[in-house]
Amino acid sequence: MDPNIRPLTPDVLKRMRAVQPGLPRATFEADGGWRRSYRVWQSVGKRREDNAQSRTIGSLTLSRSPVADDGFALRVRQQVLMIENPTIRYGGVHEINAEIDCANDALATPRRWRVEHRFHRHQKLLENLPLVYEGRADDGRVRQTINGRERVEPITGPWTAGWCLFAALPRMLEAGDMEHRFTQFDRFRTPRPDQHLFPRHEADFTSEFYGPMRCVAQIGSGGLPIDYWLDDSGQMPFVTNLHMAFIADDEAEEKIDRILRDNILMQFEAQEVA
């Protein structure tokens, strides 16, 4: 591999054999019901060492279901492999299951949610470490109970959660309204103010797999710039953030489940893309 390539863009991901062939374009409606699964992939970009340690370290699956009251339900399942390297069979997993009731507004603002964290070690759930956030937003406040204890925080102005942006961006593209300033409430645990979402036209390109791709960037406090890459139907095959990427792969969740269930090594990395 050319050591001078600059991670991470869709083009770089393709050269690193990390991308999948095209998404099912005809079936996607930003406002409809859809399910999208991503591999959580990281580049370990050692110069001149071929990025050999790059690997998948988890999965993120989001399911959108419209509901009657001008909103939609977003179900999230994220699994992160907490390990040193792909040759280790045993380790830990951080699993998050979330159900979020979102408004049909530009940022898919959360209205109610339940987020459950589960920690696994050597394939066994640590049952003595439950962690559940349940909350709702009203009157400029976020009210949550965390393992049964109440927390009330003020929140002013537009806001959303990181997962909700995966559902918001396709609708933004459709509406042609891609620039927003807001607070991001990461996993409903910590708010990050001063986020700015905007189209980054200079990065737009045409992919041989996905056709014309639009880049929408996010920059703000508490995080490095994120690029969201959308095709012309609003599907989002990639999200890139420094050395990490979410890469659409409808089998990602199943693959991670199988790795954990069967205790096999993580050998599904270097897939040839014709």
Partner 1 sequence: MPEATPNILFLSTDQHHFQALSSAGNPHVRTPHMDRLLGRGAAFSKAYSPNPICGPCRASWFTGVMASEHGDIDNRKVDPRPDLPTLGEWLGEHSGYRRIFAGKWHAGDHPFRYSIRGFDVILSGINRNAMLGDPSIAAVSEAFIRNQTGQAGPWLLVTCLQQPHDICESIRMDSQPMPCLPYGLAESDLPPLPDNFDYAHPPSAAIPEPKNPEWTELNWRYYLWSYYRHVEMCDAQVGSILSALEETGQLETTLIVFTSDHGEALGSRRHVQKNNVFDESVRVPFAVCWPGRVPVVDDEDTLVSGLDIAPTICDYAGAPVPAWYRGISLKPYLDSLEAGQPQSPDRSWIVAETGANTGRMVRSADHKYICYSDGSELLFDMRDDPLEMHDLCGEPEHAGLLNQHRGWLRQWEASLDRYPGVEPFPCR
Restricting to residues 52-71, name those near partner 1 by CB under 8 A: 53, 57-58
CA 267/CA 150 separation, integer angstroms: 43
Q: Is 222 left (phi over 0), alpha (psi -120 to 50) or beta?
A: left
We find the least distance from the C-beta atom of residue 112 to partner 1, in angstroms, to be 20
Q: Candidates 27-35, 43-51, 64-72, 259-267: pick the segment binding partner 1 (CB under 8 A).
A: 43-51
Partner residues linked to 107 by β-bridges: none
Restricting to residues 242-261, name those near partner 1 by CB under 8 A: 242-244
Tally of residues, the chain: 274
Residue 179 in contact with partner 1, rule: CB under 8 A: no
Tokens 């830990």: give the residue. 92
CA 53/CA 145 separation, integer angstroms: 40
Of 73 and 203, the one with the shorter C-beta distance to partner 1 is 203
Among 208, 168, 269, 237, which residue's Cα sits nearest to residue 23? 237
We find the least distance from the C-beta atom of residue 38 to partner 1, in angstroms, to be 13
We find the least distance from the C-beta atom of residue 239 to partner 1, in angstroms, to be 12
Q: Which of 23, 30, 40, 102 binds partner 1 (CB under 8 A)?
A: 40
Q: Which of 16, 81, 142, 161 binds partner 1 (CB under 8 A)?
A: 81
Q: Which of 21, 24, 33, 130 binds partner 1 (CB under 8 A)?
A: 130
Restricting to residues 149-168, name those near partner 1 by CB under 8 A: 149, 151
By CB under 8 A, the count of residues binding partner 1 is: 58
Can you give the binding site for partner 1, defined by CB under 8 A? 3-4, 6-8, 40, 42-48, 53, 57-58, 80-85, 90-92, 94, 117, 119, 121-122, 126, 128-131, 146-147, 149, 151, 186-187, 189-190, 192, 196, 198, 200, 217, 219, 221-225, 241-244
